[in-house]
């Protein structure tokens, strides 16, 4: 594969990282092609996994893919999320990217050149009909109009709230279809003691409310960085005012990258924004409070939400892409998607499997979760990003603390970042 500028930058960064930082393969070498005996084509599937339960769930999907492809020798290699992309970058530098490689949709822009573009022919080989997937789901694994993978899950951002905290404050719980005026009134009712809302530090944990309020993304339709779009700047200033007005819990340092979610999980704040992927963990929170969830508020009847998620792509260097496509088809096929849904671990991209996700939940919360998901997965659009989108967010994140504490302004931070990364 030709190493172009964006991939070269990733590979250069990765080559400086010791191989010891890489994850733990559970099978295969990460290479492609046939096995040593020449009896079967060997296909390696590379995925992130952070716990023994994660690995066990992946091995169940591996077994499904293997059963559906008895003539192939499929193996799984994995690494914790925090190491996965370091390992992938190292593999790019060494030309050892697994034939079936997992990719988070929000990071695809920086890695798209490592993947085989997928057209009608490739999807037919994999046995995939995009119509079987959630509307807009293919956008997750697309970049600049080209499909580079197929999603296995879909996600969107929700507002999670602490029902106990609301009851103690005597404030009505938010309802689906609520507005930003309702949100502001809710903050006022909860009080300005810094416990109403957990300020976000992660990309979508802070950016989702400004995007929903502004109705624009910080990357325009041409793919150019647009952080200084007046509507986005104004909405970001509103977001920063949550902290300035005393309603937000402010992270003590830039290293607290999961601050808002952690404060919510601990029961320290009444509300926080996070993805649908954490719905089950919040419902079963160790702090013991009763959790609720609702779609993000709308402005003037309009709300822009983004469809997020992850999927699998085929390495551009795979020696047997047809075999890899067969494995990809199985990993996002009905049986594997039913397994993902039934486990409650993530919300599957395949529509017919999604009811199983709700059936996996306790009856006491099932209807509320389904109502929230149905509301939030309506009218979404795919996230637009630039080649260096990850670096853009890495540049913004450390400055959010100074914004929240009033030492800088979000408009200055967005302007400086636009000047640094914009064309």
Angle at 310 between CA 308 and CA 313, to 5 degrees: 135
CA distances from 24 to 54, 80, 84, 128 (A): 13, 8, 10, 30
Chain segment 272-315, per-residue pLDDT in tens: 999 998 898 899 899 999 999 999 999 988 889 999 999 999 99
Work out the angle between the directed axes of helices 321-331 and 334-343 (0-180°, nearest 10).
40
Element (H, E) at 156: none
The one-character DSSP state at 127 is T
- Residue 336 tokens read as 């594997």
Average pLDDT, the chain: 90
d(CA 6, CA 71): 37
* pLDDT above 80 (res 413): yes
Name the more confident of 133 and 136: 133
Nearest CA among 401, 389, 423, 384 for reference residue 211: 384
Q: What would the mean pLDDT of 243-253 be, rounded to a whole number? A: 97
- Cβ proximity of 356 and 169 under 8 Å: no
User: Out of 4-13, 43-52, 259-268, 401-410, which region has the weakest mean confidence (pLDDT)?
Assistant: 4-13
CB neighbourhood size of 31 (10 A): 17
Q: How confident is the model over 240-248, as a mean pLDDT?
A: 98
Q: Which of 20-29, 152-161, 384-393 has the highest mean pLDDT?
A: 152-161
DSSP class of residue 95 equals T
What is the C-alpha separation between 93 and 209, in angstroms, rounded? 37
Please count the CA atoms within 13 angstroms of the CA of 9 that sit on its side-chain side.
Answer: 10
Picking from 121, 83, 113, 33, the residue whose alpha carbon sits closest to that of residue 313 is 113
Greatest Cα pair distance, the chain, in angstroms, is 70
Q: Which two tokens stand for residue 294?
A: 């609702």
Q: Give pLDDT, residue 395.
A: 96
**391-402 tens-digit pLDDT:** 999 999 999 999
DSSP track, 314-365: EBTT-S-HHHHHHHHHHHTSHHHHHHHHHHTSS-BSBGGGHHHHHHTS-HHH
How far, in whole angstroms, is CA 101 from its chain's centroid?
Answer: 16
Binned at pLDDT 50, 70 and 90, residue 359 comes out as very high
The answer on pLDDT for 16 being more than 80 is no
Dig out the tokens for 206 from the structure: 């802070």
Give the per-residue pLDDT at 199. 98
Mean pLDDT of all residues in 154-170: 97
Q: How far, in Å, CA of 33 to CA of 35, rounded?
A: 7
Phi, psi at 236, each rounded to 5°: -70, -35
Q: Say whether pLDDT at 382 is over 50.
A: yes
- Give percent above pLDDT 70 in the chain: 91
Q: Which pLDDT score, from 0 to 100, does residue 38 have?
A: 58
Rounded distance between C-alpha atoms, residue 214 and residue 302, angstroms = 9
The yes-or-no verdict on residue 77 having pLDDT over 70 is yes
Buried b (16+ CB within 10 A) or exposed e, 75-89: bbbbbeeebbbbbbb
- Choose between 397 and 110: higher pLDDT: 397
């Amino acid at each position: 594969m030709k190493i172009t500028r964006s991939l070269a930058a990733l590979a250069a960064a990765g080559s400086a990282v010791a191989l010891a930082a890489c994850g733990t393969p559970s099978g295969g070498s990460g290479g492609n092609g046939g096995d040593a005996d020449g009896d079967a084509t060997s296909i390696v599937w590379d995925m992130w996994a952070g716990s023994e339960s994660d690995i066990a769930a992946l091995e169940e999907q591996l077994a499904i893919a293997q059963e559906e492809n008895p003539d192939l020798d499929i193996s799984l290699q994995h690494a914790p999320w925090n190491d996965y992309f370091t390992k992938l970058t190292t593999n790019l530098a060494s030309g050892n990217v697994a034939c079936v490689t997992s990719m988070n949709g929000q990071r695809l822009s920086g890695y798209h050149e490592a993947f085989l573009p997928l057209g009608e022919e490739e999807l037919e080989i994999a046995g995939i009909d995009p119509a079987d997937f959630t509307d807009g789901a293919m956008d997750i694994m697309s970049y600049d109009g080209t499909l580079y993978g197929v999603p296995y899950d879909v996600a969107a951002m929700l507002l999670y709230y602490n029902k106990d905290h609301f009851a103690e404050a005597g404030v009505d719980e938010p309802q689906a279809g609520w507005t930003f005026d309702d949100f502001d009134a809710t903050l006022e009712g909860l009080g300005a003691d810094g416990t109403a809302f957990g300020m976000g530090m992660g990309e979508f944990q802070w950016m989702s409310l400004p995007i929903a309020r502004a109705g624009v993304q910080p990357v325009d339709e041409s793919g150019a960085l647009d952080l200084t779009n007046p509507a986005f700047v104004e909405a970001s200033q509103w977001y920063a005012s949550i902290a300035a007005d005393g309603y937000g819990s402010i992270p003590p340092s830039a290293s607290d990258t999961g601050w808002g979610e952690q404060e919510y999980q601990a029961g320290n704040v009444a509300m926080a924004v996070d993805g649908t992927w954490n719905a089950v963990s919040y419902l079963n929170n160790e702090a013991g409070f009763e959790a609720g969830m609702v779609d993000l508020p709308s402005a003037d009847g309009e709300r822009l939400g983004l469809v997020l998620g992850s999927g699998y792509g085929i390495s551009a260097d795979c020696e047997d892409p047809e075999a890899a496509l067969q494995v990809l088809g199985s990993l996002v096929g009905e049986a594997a998607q039913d397994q993902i849904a039934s486990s409650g671990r993530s919300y599957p991209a395949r529509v017919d499997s999604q009811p199983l996700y709700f059936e996996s939940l306790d009856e006491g919360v099932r209807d509320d979760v389904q109502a929230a998901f149905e509301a939030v997965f309506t009218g979404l659009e795919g996230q637009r990003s630039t080649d260096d989108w990850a670096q853009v967010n890495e540049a913004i994140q450390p400055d959010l603390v100074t914004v929240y504490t009033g030492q800088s302004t979000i408009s200055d931070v967005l302007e400086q970042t636009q000047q640094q990364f914009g064309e």
